[in-house]
């Protein structure tokens, strides 16, 4: 049976294919699996005990002073000092939220925070998952949390600084000038989860821009750059515990849409403006077709806070887009995140304008935000053991698709979790 996508035709059955970073063959919608072994995180050699506050940094007491460059990575055991402990969450009694105080915004917009949300579950978890949202987004997907909880995962989600629950008056939603700044809240979240679960294996899941952010974060963790540069490991580890053990990406933002010449020239302009006016917004018409297809006040079935996820999206700043493009360039040079990964995306793209009735054609059955051929092309840049699965008829967020495509996405995720269970939860058997 043949299925036609924007990238051409392919067998509906998945097949294995070895690809390189940026392999254009990937754009035809095939499933990929690298067979080479996974690189492990560097084994730390020193035990350092410290208290970690997002506003004060980490003061290490041990053989490796925090102010001195460490000759080799050190294992840190950090206790989180948060601005408040767990509080009731807007999603109701099954969820609670923890606010991290991140101190002064490096981008000059005052005090910033991040918010960790957890799903309350009765059964003891054997692993944990940390979910990170995309642009014009926040965590509200109850079914996703319940899916993981039913499979023995303690579910957590992070609203990044200036996003969703973490928005503060006077701040520009989602604005940041360096994606690596997110390492602060990602590290704090991982530390809190590790402490709460007793060092259970951690799976990372992310959508769209969150997919780019977490991919780069995992690559930096694997290479140990943060430990070498700052003299600390932001993951709260028990002796012998590993870092994240798997990655699930839902339509990750791996490239800028448009022709290559436009992407190249456009990026040059964006970077130039970002250097002098980072908060200036990109001149563009903000379409609301995707948001309208999701929210139950218009054409969709989902209920969420339009203050956190407006139908027409947020304006994009030059500083933010420049940071994203630098992240794209790093990805395109090739990474090695060191863990098995799954990339889910729609099998088709629709970037058409609205029809006579005001609705964008195929917005309910294709990705109306990103070019899925680009997602497929750059998936090979993640490193070892990558599985890419196009989901027929899926929206940009495959888990917010119509029922049929949504069921397919969850089935593919379930199958991948089962086939990689030993790798993801491997720490339990060591």
Confidence tier at 353 by pLDDT (50, 70, 90): low
**What is the structure's pLDDT at 16?**
34
Which two three-digit tokens encode residue 295?
Answer: 């929210």
Q: At 196, is the secondary structure helix, strand, or coil?
A: helix
Between residues 231 and 55, which one has the greater pLDDT?
Answer: 231
Mean pLDDT score of the chain: 81
Sequence-distant (6+) residues with CB within 8 A of 108 are none
The pLDDT score that the predictor gives to residue 355 is 56
Query: Given a cut of 90, is residue 317 above it in pLDDT?
Result: yes
Total domains in the chain come to 1
Contact criterion met (CB below 8 Å) for 341 and 247:
yes
Residues 6+ apart with CB under 8 A from 38: 338, 339, 340, 384, 385, 423
Long-range pairs for 79-82: beta carbons < 8 A, 24 or more residues apart: 79/50, 79/51, 79/52, 79/195, 79/236, 80/52, 80/188, 80/191, 80/192, 80/195, 80/236, 81/51, 81/52, 81/53, 81/54, 81/56, 82/54, 82/188, 82/192
Q: Choose from 30-44, 82-96, 238-252, 329-343 the range with maximum mean pLDDT.
A: 329-343
Lowest model confidence (mean pLDDT) among 255-269, 301-315, 343-357: 343-357
Structure tokens, 237: 């580890």
Structural domain that includes position 101: 2-429
CATH of the domain at 86: 3.40.50.1820
pTM for the whole thing?
0.80
For 133-142, the pLDDT digits (tens) are 999 999 999 9
Per-residue pLDDT at 360: 66
Backbone angles phi, psi at 291, to 5 degrees: -60, -40
Band the pLDDT of 256: cuts 50, 70, 90: very high
Tens of pLDDT, residues 156-208: 999 999 999 999 999 999 999 999 999 999 999 999 999 999 999 999 999 99
Nearest to 117 by CA among 139, 136, 137, 133: 139
Distance CA 346, CA 367 (A): 6
pLDDT band per the 50, 70, 90 thresholds, residue 146:
very high
Instruction: Provide the terminal-to-terminal Cα distance of the chain, rounded to the nearest Å.
Output: 43
* Predicted pLDDT of residue 51: 29
């Amino acid at each position: 049976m043949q299925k036609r996508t924007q990238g051409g035709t392919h067998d509906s059955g998945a097949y294995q294919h070895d690809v390189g970073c940026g392999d254009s063959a990937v754009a035809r919608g095939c499933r990929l699996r690298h067979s080479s072994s996974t690189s492990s995180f560097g084994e730390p050699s020193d035990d350092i005990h410290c208290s970690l506050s997002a506003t004060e940094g980490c003061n290490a007491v041990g053989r490796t002073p925090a102010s001195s460059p460490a000759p080799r990575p050190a294992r840190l055991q950090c206790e989180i000092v948060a601005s408040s402990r767990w509080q009731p969450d807007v999603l109701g009694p099954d969820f609670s939220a923890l606010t991290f105080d991140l101190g002064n915004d490096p981008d000059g917009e005052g005090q910033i925070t991040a918010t960790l949300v957890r799903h309350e579950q009765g059964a003891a978890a054997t692993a944990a998952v940390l979910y990170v949202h995309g642009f014009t987004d926040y965590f509200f997907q109850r079914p996703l949390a319940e899916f993981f909880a039913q499979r023995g995962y303690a579910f957590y989600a992070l609203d990044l600084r200036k996003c969703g629950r973490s928005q503060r008056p006077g701040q520009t939603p989602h604005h940041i000038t360096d994606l690596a700044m997110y390492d602060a809240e990602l590290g704090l979240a991982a530390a809190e989860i590790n402490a709460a679960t007793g060092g259970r294996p951690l799976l990372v899941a992310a959508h769209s821009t969150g997919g780019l952010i977490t991919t780069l974060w995992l690559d930096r963790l694997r290479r140990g750059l943060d430990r070498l540069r700052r003299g600390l490991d932001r993951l709260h580890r028990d002796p012998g515990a590993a870092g994240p053990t798997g990655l699930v990406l839902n339509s990750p933002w791996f490239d800028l849409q448009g022709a290559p010449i436009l992407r190249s020239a456009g990026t040059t302009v964006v970077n130039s403006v970002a250097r002098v006016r980072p908060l200036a917004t990109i001149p563009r018409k903000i379409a609301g077709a995707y948001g309208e297809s999701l929210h139950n006040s218009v054409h969709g079935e989902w209920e969420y806070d339009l203050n956190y996820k407006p139908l027409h999206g947020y304006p994009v700043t030059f500083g933010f887009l420049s940071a994203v493009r630098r992240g794209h360039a790093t990805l395109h040079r090739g990474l090695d995140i060191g863990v098995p990964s799954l990339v889910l995306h729609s099998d088709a793209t629709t970037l058409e304008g609205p029809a006579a009735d005001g609705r964008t054609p195929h917005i309910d059955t294709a990705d109306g935000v990103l070019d899925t051929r680009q997602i497929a092309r750059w998936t090979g840049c993640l490193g070892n053991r990558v599985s890419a699965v196009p989901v027929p008829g899926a929206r940009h967020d495959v888990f917010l698709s119509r029922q049929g495509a949504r069921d397919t996405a969850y089935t593919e995720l379930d199958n991948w979790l089962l086939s990689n269970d030993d790798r993801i939860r491997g720490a339990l058997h060591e």
